[in-house]
Structure 1
Amino acid sequence: MDMAVHIQQMLEAYTPSELSVPSRKLAGVLAPLYVHEGEYRMVFTKRSDRMLHHRGQISFPGGGHESADGSLLDTALRESDEEIGLNPDHVTVLGQLDDLLTTGSNYLIRPYVGLIPYPYPFELDKRETDYLIEVPLHFLRQNNPPCQITREHEGRVVESFFFDYEGHVIWGATGKILKRFLDLLDRHDVAM
């Protein structure tokens, strides 16, 4: 069976943790996957240094919920279209992951996993996205668990996970979302 089908079945059977924290701003992100020559790769963005939050960081495409968005999935798809030119009609949503609360920017993030066609004619919004990083899923799985540091942030002890792919450090909220996804794959023994 195809890995994307396994992932979709796994996420359909999984009940993601959905949080309700009225004081938090809402955001939706998309973890895009594609297949090239039998290899699954995950797409990340390098955020522009001009961004207000998380400038210069590696992240999934996505952003803040707007009143015109029907759901946080709509937010993730709209933002992916705005940031990297990923047409929502070209995304097969495989499922939802656990909500995550950010420590610095006060967001509640709802992540989704989607399969996209390859090759894809991405069009980057240079105000938001410097470039894309396309990481083999097998590399991420082989490096899970990722490196981990514990630090203090605003009087609380915070665990930070980070993956280093060819000098690109994936950490923070994106690192936590990625680790949770990889843990699910491992727990359900989804074959590469």
Structure 2
Amino acid sequence: MDFRSVLDLLEKGMKYPLPGKKAQLSMSPNPVDSRRFDSKLPDNHRKGSVLILLYPNDDKAFFPLIKRPVYKGVHSGQIAFPGGKMEEDDEDEIETALREAWEEVNIKPEQVKLIGRMSDLFIPTSNFLVSPVLGYSEVLPDFVPEEKEVARIIQTAVSTLYEPSFRKQKVLEFSDSFRLDTPYFEVDQEMVWGATAMILSEFLQILENGKN
């Protein structure tokens, strides 16, 4: 999809109420973890932010995803947006997203033009309330992965998300015999599922709303 066309659709789509839960659920693993949408979050929950950054690549709209390294944690090896935990010195969720994206993949904060914030999403397994921040850069960033936090950077065309052949479903089996029927996007031979896929689902609905 053309970079300028995507920005125009997002600008129009963000004028509508955010799609939120309804859009997120369309890419949620089943059974749905009801804790994601509880009106009252755990008192000890933590806050974090991610950056969805649109940028031009041969005039087409792209955004970066990252693959986390393998480590002893619930998100080991998973695909995510650049982002992370809010620090005490961060003014707000936007500053967190910009700082983390700079630290993880070398997106310079001054290059980012903000579009707005999407719907927050709670991740029960890590006890994080994640705030997705939407922005764009007029130029292709000079991506550099922070080796301890990023195994690889995946430059992803927005058009990929519209390809039916890249929307798939599989059953994930965990060590305690728990199973999840999981919708996902296949991007560069990687499985994009869970919170990242749910955020992308809302992103796509915002684009659709911009066509009205």
TM-score range, shorter chain: 0.7 to 0.9
Find the residue that maps to 1:56 and give its secondary structure: coil
Which position in structure 2 is the counterpart of 1:6? Answer: 9
Alpha-carbon displacement from aligned partner over 1:107-166 (angstroms, at most 9, x marks no partner): 111101111243321221100001110111111123499334577999x99764310123
Matched, 1:27 2:48: yes
What TM-score, normalized to structure 2?
0.77
Question: Aligned partners of 1:145 and 1:159: how far apart in 2?
Answer: 17
Find the residue that maps to 2:151 and give its secondary structure: strand
Which position in structure 1 is the counterpart of 2:198? Answer: 176
1:85, distance to aligned residue in structure 2 (A): 0.9
Instruction: Please tell me whether the aligned partners of residues 145 and 179 of structure 1 are also in contact (alpha carbons under 8 angstroms).
Output: no
Is 136-145 or 81-90 further displaced after alignment?
Answer: 136-145
Question: Aligned partners of 2:181 and 2:91: how far apart in 1?
Answer: 33
Find the residue that maps to 1:129 and give its secondary structure: coil
Change (3 A) 1:143 1:30: farther
Question: Aligned partners of 1:186 and 1:54: how far apart in 2?
Answer: 30
**Identity over the aligned pairs, expressed in percent?**
26
Question: Aligned partners of 2:50 and 2:153: how far apart in 1?
Answer: 15
Runs of 4+ in 1 over 4 A off after TM superposition: 15-20, 148-154, 156-159
Matched, 1:106 2:127: yes
1:46-61 aligned within 5 A: 46-50=67-71, 52-61=73-82
Question: Aligned partners of 2:19 and 2:120: how far apart in 1?
Answer: 7
Instruction: Please tell me whether the aligned partners of residues 16 and 99 of structure 1 are also in contact (alpha carbons under 8 angstroms).
Output: no
Matched residues, number = 189
What TM-score, normalized to structure 1?
0.84
Find the residue that maps to 2:61 and give its secondary structure: strand
Question: Aligned partners of 2:151 and 2:55: how far apart in 1?
Answer: 20
Gaps of 5+ in 2: 22-38
Find the residue that maps to 2:103 and give its secondary structure: helix
Which position in structure 2 is the counterpart of 1:120? Answer: 141
Gaps of 5+ in 1: none
Instruction: Please tell me whether the aligned partners of residues 51 and 128 of structure 1 are also in contact (alpha carbons under 8 angstroms).
Output: no
Find the residue that maps to 2:14 and give its secondary structure: helix
Question: Aligned partners of 1:20 and 1:95: how far apart in 2?
Answer: 24
